[in-house]
């Protein structure tokens, strides 16, 4: 009997191996095939490349455990290909950094721009102060696009300014430029600290949240706002988030000057002179919460302020079973239209004011022609948007005005990036290149 024990042990081991290992390997191969196919699909639209902060994986260190893939709250940003973590949907990444925290071997670093590209970032010290004393940068413009980080930075910077404030003849203790998450948090902290403040926003309250390019906003974890308390949701639509901002403004009586663009900032002996489209102000310190995407060029038509309008697309899969209008004739517009057309039951119309495309990538020309031929995209040359309504859009065409059913509008008409403005007001930039 004892002689049979090794045989029984081997048999049991072999049985357990057969029960567990082949199904596991099959599951791994299935996930890798899915990741590879997704990566191939996203390369068509260019969405595989990151445009802002994203994980950079050291393939030599990566052990292929997949912890980073599971840790990402956005989903499908990372995947395992050939046993290594790979950036699959770079444009979807908004810099949570949870993948880097979860990696057990430290193979991930959070970096700006996309591989092979460089990004100009302002030079900041540990207090988020620029090379111009008294001028600070918070939020996405400083390299971190996550709402939780932006809010935390906005609070921290104003607390620091309050701790070192000295009496001046300036009208305000602090001027805050931008009313996105970082700017609102900075303003609330200034109000809590009983500081004299001014918040200047060239557009509307919400900043880049208004232009958020996906249907949901992820906070990753609750965040504390001065004079309000915790924002308890971790995943929310941008409409719900904007409604919450408005509730906060009503409760706290935070004052914001909207529709006032800052055109220049000049340092002086007792602070700064801030020039705007409406006049001039003086402040002891300045907090820039501008956002990194810059100012999108708008069409200037009725209804463009509706929440269904966006100026960038990063997650085409969030939009399905919808009537969608894409406006523009550049690579970004074409890539967005193609990406949206490949989703389930979408009706996509691409409106371009000219009679033909010019200076677009050949691959995009082929892809748009293919989707038009398949009747996945309706291409309307020589057309312009006249009005955006909650459920329709009015499109002026060579054949007259068309009324199209519509759930979402994506506008790609170019824009003004903030880097030139930063250089103009004396802020030093540093270039970071991703290999």
CATH number for the domain including 106?
3.30.70.20
Report how far residue 56's alpha carbon sits from residue 43's, in angstroms, rounded to the nearest whole number.
18
pLDDT of residue 434: 43
Report how far residue 302's alpha carbon sits from residue 385's, in angstroms, rounded to the nearest whole number.
10
Sign of the alpha-carbon dihedral angle for 229, 234, 240, 245: positive
Both 352 and 324 in one domain: the answer is yes
CATH of the domain at 358: 3.50.50.60
| 186 burial via Cβ count (<10 Å: 0-12, 13-18, 19+) | buried
pLDDT of residue 292: 63
Sign of the alpha-carbon dihedral angle for 287, 291, 292, 297: negative
- Domain termination residue (choose one: 115, 147, 162): 115
Is 302 domain-assigned? Answer: no
Both 156 and 223 in one domain: the answer is yes
With beta carbons less than 8 A apart as the criterion, state whether 344 and 52 touch. no
Is 185 domain-assigned? Answer: yes
Both 243 and 148 in one domain: the answer is yes
Where b means 16+ CB within 10 Å and e means fewer, 338-350 reads bbbbbbeebbbbb
Both 126 and 229 in one domain: the answer is yes
Is 211 domain-assigned? Answer: yes
Both 259 and 152 in one domain: the answer is yes
Is 393 domain-assigned? Answer: yes
pLDDT of residue 386: 97
Tell me the Ramachandran region of residue 117: left when phi exceeds 0, alpha when psi lies from -120 to 50, beta otherwise: beta
Task: Give pLDDT < 50 ranges for the chain.
Answer: 1, 116-118, 433-435
- Domain termination residue (choose one: 115, 133, 160): 115
pLDDT of residue 299: 92
Is 94 domain-assigned? Answer: yes
Both 125 and 13 in one domain: the answer is no
Report how far residue 58's alpha carbon sits from residue 72's, in angstroms, rounded to the nearest whole number.
17
Both 73 and 170 in one domain: the answer is no
pLDDT of residue 47: 67
pLDDT of residue 323: 97
Both 134 and 272 in one domain: the answer is yes
- Domain termination residue (choose one: 94, 115, 136): 115
- Rounded (5°) CA angle 70-74-76: 65
Q: How many helices and strands, by DSSP H and E, does the chain display? A: 9, 27
- Provide CB contacts within 8 A for 79, sequence distance 6+: 31, 32, 34, 35, 36, 38, 39, 69, 85, 86, 88
- Of 305, 202, 205, 201, the residue nearest 252 (C-alpha): 205
Is 72 domain-assigned? Answer: yes
Report how far residue 280's alpha carbon sits from residue 274's, in angstroms, rounded to the nearest whole number.
6
Both 262 and 314 in one domain: the answer is no
Domain that residue 375 falls in: 309-414
Is 304 domain-assigned? Answer: no
Both 107 and 173 in one domain: the answer is no
Element (H, E) at 191: helix 181-192
Global pTM reads: 0.64
Both 161 and 286 in one domain: the answer is yes
pLDDT of residue 117: 47
Report how far residue 387's alpha carbon sits from residue 152's, in angstroms, rounded to the nearest whole number.
38
Both 10 and 27 in one domain: the answer is yes
Chain centre distance of CA 28: 31
Is 32 domain-assigned? Answer: yes
List strands edge to edge, sheet with 347-351: 309-310, 408-411, 323-327, 347-351, 377-380
- Provide CB contacts within 8 A for 44, sequence distance 6+: 338, 339, 363, 367
The tally of domains found in the chain comes to 3
């Amino acid at each position: 009997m004892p002689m049979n024990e090794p045989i029984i042990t081997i048999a049991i081991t072999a049985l357990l191996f057969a029960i567990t290992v082949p199904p596991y390997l099959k599951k791994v191969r299935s996930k890798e095939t899915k990741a590879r196919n997704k990566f191939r699909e996203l390369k068509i639209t260019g969405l595989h490349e990151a445009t802002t902060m994203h994980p950079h994986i050291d393939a030599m260190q990566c052990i292929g455990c997949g912890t980073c893939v599971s840790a990402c709250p956005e989903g499908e940003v990372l995947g395992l290909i050939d046993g290594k973590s790979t950036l699959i949907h770079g444009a979807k990444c908004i810099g949570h950094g949870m993948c880097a925290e979860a990696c057990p071997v430290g193979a991930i670093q959070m970096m700006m721009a996309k591989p092979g590209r460089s990004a100009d970032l302002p030079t900041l010290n540990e207090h988020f102060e620029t090379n111009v004393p008294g001028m600070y940068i918070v939020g996405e413009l400083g390299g971190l696009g996550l709402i939780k980080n932006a809010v935390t930075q906005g609070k921290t910077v104003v607390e620091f300014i309050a701790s070192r404030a000295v009496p001046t003849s300036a009208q305000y203790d602090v001027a805050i430029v931008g009313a996105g998450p970082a700017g609102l948090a900075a303003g609330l902290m200034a109000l809590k600290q009983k500081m004299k403040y001014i918040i200047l926003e060239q557009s509307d309250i919400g900043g880049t949240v208004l232009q958020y390019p996906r249907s949901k906003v992820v906070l990753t974890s609750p965040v504390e706002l001065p004079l309000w308390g915790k924002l308890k949701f971790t995943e929310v639509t941008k409409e719900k988030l904007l409604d919450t901002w408005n509730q906060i403004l009503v409760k706290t009586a935070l004052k914001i000057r909207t529709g006032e663009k800052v055109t220049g900032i000049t340092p002086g002996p007792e602070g700064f002179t801030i020039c705007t489209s409406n006049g001039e102000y003086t402040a002891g310190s300045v907090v820039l919460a501008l956002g990194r995407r810059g100012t999108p060029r708008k069409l200037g038509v009725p209804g463009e302020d509706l929440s269904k309008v966006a100026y960038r697309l990063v997650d085409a899969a969030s939009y399905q079973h919808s009537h969608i209008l894409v406006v523009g004739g550049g690579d970004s517009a074409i890539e967005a239209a193609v990406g949206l057309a490949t989703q389930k039951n979408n009706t996509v119309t691409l409106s371009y004011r000219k009679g033909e495309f010019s200076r677009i990538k050949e691959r995009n020309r082929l892809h748009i022609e293919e989707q038009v031929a398949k009747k996945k995209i309706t291409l309307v040359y020589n057309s312009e948007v006249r009005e955006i309504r909650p459920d329709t859009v009015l499109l002026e065409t060579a054949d007259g005005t068309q009324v199209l059913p519509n759930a979402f509008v994506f506008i790609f008409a170019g824009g003004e990036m903030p880097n030139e403005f930063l250089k103009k007001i004396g802020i030093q930039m540093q270039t970071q290149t991703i290999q």
